Each structure stands twice: as C-alpha cells, then as structure tokens.
Structure 1
Amino acid sequence: MKIGKIHHVAYRCRNAKQTVEWYQKYLGMDFVLAIAENEVPSTKAPDPYMHIFMDAGQGNVLAFFELPNSPEMGKDPNTPDWVQHIAFEIDSLDDLLATKARLEADGIDVVGPTDHTIFKSIYFFDPSGHRLELAVNTGTPDMARRLDDVKWQMLEEWDRTKQAPQHAAWMHDGSHS
C-alpha cells in the first residue's frame, strides 16, 4: 500500500461557525462540508458534534470538530507553543506581507517574517489557539539538493547524540549565498 494523499487533517475548535468565518476571512478557505451527529460513528458514544471541512487548496482539507459536551479544550503543557502548528504554503512574499498586515490590523499578533533560508514564514494563532504558519518558498534547487544529500547523516547523528548536527548549518550562519 502507498498513501495517495492526506484526505483531511482534523483538529478541535471552540466554535464551528466562528472557525469557518475566520478561515474564510483570513486564509481565503472555502467552507466545503458540515457533518453533525449525536453519536460518534466509530465508537457509538453519545456525544454530539459538528464536524466542518475547509478547502486548503489543491485537494487539501482542514477539518475541525466542535464538541459542546466535552471539557474546554486545552494544550499539551509539556510541548512548547511553537512546536505544534499547521503550515500553509502560499505563492509570494507580497501575499505573506499583505496577510500579515491584514491580521495585525485586526489585532492578531504575528511573528515574522522569519527567514528559514529555504522559505520565509509568519506565525499566528487562530481563535481556538491553534498555531498557524504561512510559508513562501525561497530556496533554490541547489539548496534542496544540498539538504537532500545530508538528511540521512543528520538523522543518524541526531539519533545517536540528541545534539543538532551541523551538516546544514549554512542555512542559518549566513554562508548559504
């Protein structure tokens, strides 16, 4: 078996209607489907939910569940906020900067643009507290080849030492030019 693509990725949200409107307004995602049940189909648990699906482009679907009878949603207290996030690819640096300006104009805190050498990105949170990233690719084919050439060595070294391997230090030390 080989995976064809991700069918959808699902997260919890605080309010389904607010989530649909927010993703439409700030990320231009179309609302494509709503499913609501009073019983969970897979477990048969009596737990009403609203399951919404948003078009994230090119067949990618981002979905959310609103669960009104569950305790208030929280975060993993042992994982830093910057780790768990959803990253969306966009076409241009102009789009990145325009989106940043629109978010900030509405009082949404934005970090970045952050230069990752092979892409630039901004970070912010949706109304349910999910960290989002918008990224625009800036790397070259040579950069991609250089990273591909060392990925396995980096992984093996990390697995042995749990220290950051330096095979791709050029990405952040200014020597990538």
Structure 2
Amino acid sequence: MSAENLQPTDEVKAPVLHHVNLKTSRLSEMIAWYGNLIGATPNFQFEGGAWLTNDAANHRIAFLATPDIVDDPDFRIHTGMHHVAFEYPDLDDLLLTWERLDRQGNKPHFAVDHGLTTSFYYVDPDGNSVELQVDNFGDWAASTEFMRTSPDFARNPIGVPCSPRKMLEARRSGVDPKDVERRAYAGAYPPDDPYDGRFGKAA
C-alpha cells in the first residue's frame, strides 16, 4: 500500500489466527505432548516458557511458565477456552494419527462427526482440550454453507459421536472416505463407550 492510500477507514481488516498462548506449570510435559500430538517443536525455550511451531510460522503455540501459575481444580466449570483445533488435509491422516496415539494409550475424550468436520478431541497434560479435525467437504466454502443452511446441523449442532476404530476399519475394508464420513454422521459407527465432552463438571 502506498503512503497516500493510508487514509482513515472504518473497514475491519481481518487478520488470520497466528498462535495460542497457554499458561502451564508443566512446561517440559507440554512441549513433549504437543510434539507427539502435532509435530510441534520449539524454536526457542527457556525456564519461563517456549515457542513451538509445526509449520513455517515462527510459532503456533506459546507456553508461559512461572512459579505463580497453579492448577485450577474447577477450571472445567469456569469461563475460558474449551479447545484449540488443528486440521488435517484428509480423513486418512486423521485416522492414522488416531491409531498412532491409541497405540501409545492416548485416547480421545470425545470423537464426533459434526457434519461439517470429523473431530477427535484429546486432553493435554494441563487438562486443556485439543481438537484434531478434517473438513468433511474438503472445501471451507462448502462446509460453511452446510453450517449456515443445513437443517440437520440446526437440529444437532454438536454432532454424532463416532468410533475412530470402526471408521478406520471401514476405510481399510475399502469404503471411500466420503462414504465413511457420511455413515459416521448417520450413526453407523457408534462409540463402544460413552465420551466426556468436557462441557461442564466431570460425570
């Protein structure tokens, strides 16, 4: 933009989300956990924090760690962030990530087909929820239109709980990814056990 075009404006300049910053009392555990979950590595760390990324950005996740930070036993029922989300390019990457984490004993606290996305939610060492998702349409414009106009979404905006294991079995049997996603939303792959969406007090 040239200097002469820098005139006062009421236009909202829309930025893109760059990173999230979490306070933690478990810095080393958090660095290792996010490294294992999404391949995030520190570009810089010291005793008071760290800045991690899994792409070309200087950081996508920041941690602040000071001696004053303590756990909140009631954080689940306090106002604040519920989760942060990371998106995969396709369902297979999401399912293979689920399988890798499952072998390590890291199971999602919630797995759901939201209609617009298929999403698996995990709990980090501090108790924060982290969503791993894939856009069911492979097109943000299409999934946005679904969110805005679908009667099914309006009736059930949370979505249909699903079993990642059953979805992966379906893919390995030759079911097309789009069909797996559609069947999940129709309830064809119910979870074996109830999930905890962590929307309030523990059950």
Taking the aligned partners of 1:170 and 1:72, their CA distance within structure 2 comes to: 37
Post-superposition Cα deviations, 1:25-77, rounded to whole Å, max 9, x if no partner, equal 2211122222x5xxxxxxxxxxxx6121111446361111122x225222525
- In structure 1, the residue matched to 2:43 is 32
Tell me: CA distance 1:118–1:77, structure 2 relative to 1, closer, same or farther (3 Å): closer
| Paired amino acid for 1:168 | A
- In structure 1, the residue matched to 2:136 is 138
1:21 is aligned to 2:32 = yes
Q: Is residue 56–residue 62 contact of structure 1 (8 Å, CA) maintained in 2?
A: no
Taking the aligned partners of 2:19 and 2:144, their CA distance within structure 1 comes to: 27
- In structure 1, the residue matched to 2:107 is 109
| Paired amino acid for 2:118 | K
Give the drift of 1:135.
0.6
1:168 is aligned to 2:154 = yes
Give the drift of 1:166.
8.2
Taking the aligned partners of 1:132 and 1:14, their CA distance within structure 2 comes to: 18
Percent identity (aligned): 23
| Paired amino acid for 2:49 | H
| Paired amino acid for 1:61 | R
Larger strand fraction of residues: 1
RMSD (CA atoms): 3.5
Secondary structure, in 3 states, of the residue corresponding to 2:48? strand
Secondary structure, in 3 states, of the residue corresponding to 1:103? helix
Structure 2 length normalisation: TM-score?
0.58
Q: Is residue 110–residue 122 contact of structure 2 (8 Å, CA) maintained in 1?
A: no
Structure 1 length normalisation: TM-score?
0.65
Post-superposition Cα deviations, 1:100-155, rounded to whole Å, max 9, x if no partner, equal 122222222314541111110101111121111101000365553353469xxxxx
| Paired amino acid for 2:144 | A
Give the drift of 1:11.
0.7
Tell me: CA distance 1:134–1:144, structure 2 relative to 1, closer, same or farther (3 Å): same
Which of the residues 89, 92, 97 maps onto 1:91? 89
Structure 2, unpaired ranges of 5+:
1-11, 161-181, 187-203
| Paired amino acid for 2:16 | K
Tell me: CA distance 1:28–1:72, structure 2 relative to 1, closer, same or farther (3 Å): same
Secondary structure, in 3 states, of the residue corresponding to 1:114? strand
1:11 is aligned to 2:9 = no
Tell me: CA distance 1:91–1:142, structure 2 relative to 1, closer, same or farther (3 Å): closer
Taking the aligned partners of 1:105 and 1:149, their CA distance within structure 2 comes to: 39
